Amino acid sequence: MKVLIVHAHPEPQSFSSALKTVSLEAFREAGHEVQVSDLYAMGFNPVASAADFGNRANPEYCVYALEQRNGVTNRTISPDIQRELEKLMQCDLLVLNFPLFWFSTPAILKGWLDRVLVSGTVYGGTRFYDRGGLRGKRALVSVTLGGQEHMFRSDGVHGPLESMLKHLLQGTLGYTGLDVLPPFFAWHVPYVTHDDRVAMLDAWRERIALLDEATPLSFPSLNDFDELLYPLY
């Protein structure tokens, strides 16, 4: 299996970085081929702009999605996007590893998604959900946060974290056709003991070992809708 780990934490000594290291080791020990995109270490540019295209289809007005298609077709898209897109299309499993920022991803990871999940290749028209460009691949999200688990239960002060990450789990990963595995959460990380952190790393390693037993999250199928996307039932 080919694995792409996209890591988004600015501190190499962070617990989030430790999760990245454990996953890299676990996948390689199991015989898998692994690539890592450490976005902060790479100095990845998260800003989607007209500068991403060396030869514009429309020099007068930038429709970003259309320029993505043109840039990929003519190989005039920014080289950093091209490199990451090639990694993405080659992988069987995409792992996103990041700390929770305001119930979402760090901006640098959002920028990676904006720039690398290109129109025409990854999505477009009715190429989404089970017809998306990344169908047949899987995705796994691992998140560190300072909050405690009880705060994110259905009756907790914040509500379920999975619901807050719907924009990522469904609206991005599921939308592009990926089979999205249940996410891994490391709770209350800055405040727990060293032994607690070790236990979380062990749990992460075990989660990786049991990936083939995990049931993907459920998202809509276009087979349940007509050509205008009205439900068939």
CA distances from 122 to 72, 111, 133 (A): 11, 16, 4
**SS3 of 155-219:** CCCCCCHHHHCHHHHHHHHHCCCCEECCCEEECCHHHCCHHHHHHHHHHHHHHHHCHHHCCCCCC
The span from the CA of 71 to the CA of 55, in Å, is 7
| Close Cβ partners of 22 (under 8 Å, ≥ 6 residues apart) | 201, 204, 205
Distance of CA 48 to the CA centre of its chain: 17
CA distances from 205 to 7, 40, 208 (A): 16, 24, 5
**Considering the chain, what is the average pLDDT of its residues?**
96
Contact of 111 with 64, CB cutoff 8 Å: no
Q: Which residue, chain included where needed, has tokens 């690398």? A: 116
The span from the CA of 169 to the CA of 171, in Å, is 6
Per-residue pLDDT, 74? 94
Digit-coded pLDDT (tens) for 2-24: 999 999 999 999 999 999 999 99
Walk me through the domains of the chain, giving residue ranges and CATH numbers: 2-224 (3.40.50.360)
| Close Cβ partners of 9 (under 8 Å, ≥ 6 residues apart) | 16, 17, 20, 40, 97, 98, 99, 106, 144
Length of the chain: 233
Q: Which two tokens stand for residue 185?
A: 């959460």
All residue ranges of the chain with pLDDT < 50 are none
Per-residue pLDDT, 233? 81
- Cα–Cα–Cα angle for 188, 192, 197, nearest 5°? 95
Single pTM value for the model: 0.95
